[in-house]
Amino acid sequence: MDKNFKTHIITLLLKDDRLKDEQGELKGNLVKEFANTLDENLITTLLEDEKTRAQFFLKIKEVYVFKTNKFKFFLDENSIDNSYTQYSNQIGLSAGGKFLKDNTDVVLNFPFKDCVLEGGQSTEDGLDTYFEYDDTQEDYIEKQSKRKEIFFNEVLAKDEIDRLLEPKAFTNITKYDSKGESKPTQFNRNAKGTITDNLIIKGNNLLALYSLKQEFKGKVKLIYIDPPYNTGNDSFAYNDNFNHSTWLTFMRNRLMVAKDLLREDGVIFISCDDNEMSHLRILMDEIKEINYESIFHIKVRHENRILRQDNRYQKVMEHLVCFSKNNYNPNRIFNSKDKNKDYQFNVVLKENETPQNITINNYDIEIYKREQYEIIKEENGQFKEYNIRGSLITQNGSASQFYELYLKERKGYDGLGALYKVINMGEKGDGLGYRFIRQPFDIKGENGFYYQGKPIKIAVDKGNPYPNYYDFEKEFNNSSKEGGITFKNGKKPEMFISKILEISKLEEKDIILDFHLGSGSTAGTCHKSNYQYIGVEQMDSQIELSIIRLKNAIQNEQTTLSKSVNWKGGGSFVYLELAKNNQTAKEEILKCKNLEELLQFFETMYTKYFLHYNVRIKQFKEVISQEENFKNLALDRQKEIFAKMLDLNQLYVNLSEIEDSRYKLDAKDIGLSKDFYQVKK
């Protein structure tokens, strides 16, 4: 197609005001979005034009069928964006040949930092990357042998998604408090109807975020996450889809919905290392409605504790990337010192004493000899004493400068300790109408003194900004057993989380969200600090650790944080699981120990669960029973193929189908799920 056709299309599309930017140029991204959703006005515009109808429509009898893929291919091959977008695209992140902001794929899972390594990767592969804080090489190898949870990387194109992101039903809903476990009758809410219970949710975090959006949109003050760092060793060696662009898409999917949960004064903190820090910064810059705040640099390892001498560099730092909504204001560091304590002096002129009166540089001055007055030091005095030296002397118009210019030379004439009451000096500051200046008491004294009264207006302490560097090396190296649980792989210390809470300027009833909960550091810190929290985690092992940790906190488990906040135990949280459908089938597949067990489960799988519409069950059964090549595949590759047959839209039970008898959900869980979403009976 020639340039004239491109110009023709742009002119045609600009007739739709929705597709114009503020400068009247075409918004190419919106055209692509309308093409994906088969926007009626766009289709009509293209259909009614003879040239575009010939290119992008197929006539079958009397019906025209829109060639969506051909039109989208034309948009990809021909830059029809406005000038600004064309240039900004030059620096954009890309994934799979498309700019990330144009990518509509959804990455459901990503390998976690502590998931199993497969595909022949040995314990020596990436040893330096997998060392965490206080690990020894023996710790590492032991840890490798205990990893059992596998997460297959799953990506859905937008046109494959139909029910994936709908709100999900909950099951196994349990309340934990000092009395133990119980089934709640309903969720607690504040006057505005917002749930006030602490929540721990098990399930895919992307789907959980969309479910939370129903109830918590615009209500979360702080989001902190510690996502997989994408080091190259937190993935399966055989699956080369776990790459840079997949990680970025994975993060973008979640951040796009997470930012909708934030209040207008909300803030996001994300832990990362230098492997993805710069790309994460660019990714966040491309997400509308959030603004860059800062990058905090966190020391997590000692520079002299070398794990492998063949490393090119010793990594001791991690990073904390901070973005915010429009009305966010970070906390400030305020001076806790009582400024009144600086005023420790009273100047008492003795009765019936007559001073000498002189005029110097237009100031009337009363001069008192040493025996004509007393300087009394006492708490909560009227004056603050300054030693006249250094930079004070150069302050134009100050008492210090006046002493240096006119009074210092009078020390021998007026005597040691002579006191000068300079009329009309400094009256705007303290309102006294005079300033006291004196000679030194000691003959060896080189400097004079002046006395300033308490200011008329107490200056408002605006506080100092927080630094963007913190040394938490000791805390990171002593966190493996914190919270009463043992976990060495990337566990964040409570005092580190507490610093994030402090910077975020939280108030008593603010909500904190962590949708990469891990071993529960965020939830545990919030619980002891009396902040409401929501944690989301998919891995069984991590959920178990988080629950134990929070139960320990309820029972007054003591850490450095516990002591600093005077934690005495108590509180509660509610545990919920996204009600599983095809997710159960995935877990059953992963449990199979050999191909025979896989084949046995397949009989249940295609009758009980929802398979992808294009799976040919009969043909597949014939292949796997006869093909030696399939039988020779590694077991985990066989499992992956079985898992790919499942319809990913059906991983969990949607709220709209909560009472479908096929899912056999508990009546109390059905009632509590409806209560969570405030579904009227």
Please state the rounded mean pLDDT for residues 611-615.
83
The residue ranges of every structural domain in the chain are 3-91, 127-312+466-575, 339-453, 582-650
Could you give the CA distance from residue 523 to residue 489 in angstroms, rounded to a whole number? 17
Could you give the CA distance from residue 544 to residue 202 in angstroms, rounded to a whole number? 10
Could you give the CA distance from residue 99 to residue 188 in angstroms, rounded to a whole number? 44
Q: What is the per-residue pLDDT for 49?
A: 94
Could you give the CA distance from residue 458 to residue 13 in angstroms, rounded to a whole number? 62
Summarize pLDDT for 477-535 with one digit per residue, the tens: 999 899 999 887 678 999 999 999 999 999 989 999 999 999 999 999 999 999 999 99
Summarize pLDDT for 303-332 with one digit per residue, the tens: 887 766 777 888 899 999 999 999 999 999
- Give the tokens for residue 336: 């806790």
Q: What is the per-residue pLDDT for 129?
A: 34
Q: What is the per-residue pLDDT for 525?
A: 97
Q: What is the per-residue pLDDT for 112?
A: 59
Summarize pLDDT for 69-80 with one digit per residue, the tens: 889 888 877 777
User: Would you say 52 and 9 are in contact if contact means Cβ atoms under 8 Å apart?
Assistant: yes
Q: Is the pLDDT of residue 236 over 80?
A: no
Q: Residue 111: which pLDDT band, with cuts at 50, 70 and 90?
A: low
Q: Could you say which architecture CATH assigns to the domain 127-312+466-575? A: 3-Layer(aba) Sandwich (3.40)
Query: DSSP secondary structure string, 434-490?
Result: EEEEE--SSTT----EEEEEPPSSPPP---BPPPSEEE-HHHHHT-TTGGG----SS
User: Would you say 207 and 216 are in contact if contact means Cβ atoms under 8 Å apart?
Assistant: no
Q: Is the pLDDT of residue 105 over 70?
A: yes
Q: What is the per-residue pLDDT for 671?
A: 96
**The pTM is what?**
0.71
Query: What is the DSSP code (8-state) at residue 589?
Result: H
Q: What is the per-residue pLDDT for 69?
A: 85
Summarize pLDDT for 451-481 with one digit per residue, the tens: 988 887 666 678 899 999 999 999 999 998 9
What amino acid is encoded at 390 in this protein?
Answer: G
Summarize pLDDT for 182-206 with one digit per residue, the tens: 999 999 999 999 999 999 999 999 9
Could you give the CA distance from residue 526 to residue 533 in angstroms, rounded to a whole number? 6
